[in-house]
Amino acid sequence: MSEPEKSMNLVKRYPVAAYFILTFAISWLGALAVVAPRLLRGETIPKFSGILMFPVMLLGPVVSGVLLTRVLDGTSGLGNLFSRMRRIRVGAQWYAALLIPPITILLVLLFLSNFVSPVFAPSRFFVGATFGIVAGFFEEIGWMGFAFPKMTKTGNLLGASFGLGVLWGCWHIPVIDFLGTATPHSSFWLPYFLAFTAAMTAMRVLIGWIYANTKSVALAQLMHTSSTGSLVVLSPSRATPAQEAMWYAIYAMALWLIVGIVAAIFGKSLTRNGT
């Protein structure tokens, strides 16, 4: 058996592992390429260069998702993927669920601004919603279009969502210091990363919950858009790195409370039919 055949067999045998290896390789190497000239000159990476890494990173999930769908599932698999991206005729309650991120963020920030410090007052950077649109559309082609269905063969969608959420949070590592408003995070990099990943993992469970009940990649894209867009639009602009890590941690706890309610009602399958 030739080396290409061996590699193809490994991909077919371990499609989820192949997806994440390829996704991380494309995204992280692409991000590195953007800032490599400055790193080689020993220069500090400016915020603009850090922001430029993100659109390059988006190539990872979408290219890997489409490529592996074609390789493993053929043209019919691609057709199925694109049909799930067009599936928008679902119950109104699932569109209402898209309000969870902005409402939760507003409640957390209004509570903190009233009882802790006015510095936590929500911003109104409405043009920031475009960041959510781009991230939501491209990322979910891979995360929910390819990876999640492959990860849920056992029926434990709750566990699969949790695992995908942790990996999703780690995927952001190259740009984590350029996310939020209090950048760079300096000595609070790790607390911010942990709080961010906790929030994103909870959000991934909620995205998995919507997908499990609608089989709509489009709704997953909209939920991702709502999450990222709300964070960019509403994040307090005057928060320090310590304050940003704190409010993200509180936001994560609020999301996990919602996840707990969802899990209690819908079970491991995240659907009414599950246990």
Residue 203 banded pLDDT, cuts 50, 70, 90: very high
Average pLDDT, the chain: 94
Q: pTM for this structure? A: 0.95
Residues of the chain with pLDDT > 70, as a percent, come to 97
Ramachandran sector of residue 46 (left: φ over 0; alpha: ψ -120 to 50; beta: rest): beta
Which pLDDT band, with edges at 50, 70 and 90, does 275 fall under?
A: very low
Q: What is the pLDDT of residues 86-127, one digit of tens each?
A: 999 999 999 999 999 999 999 999 999 999 999 999 999 999
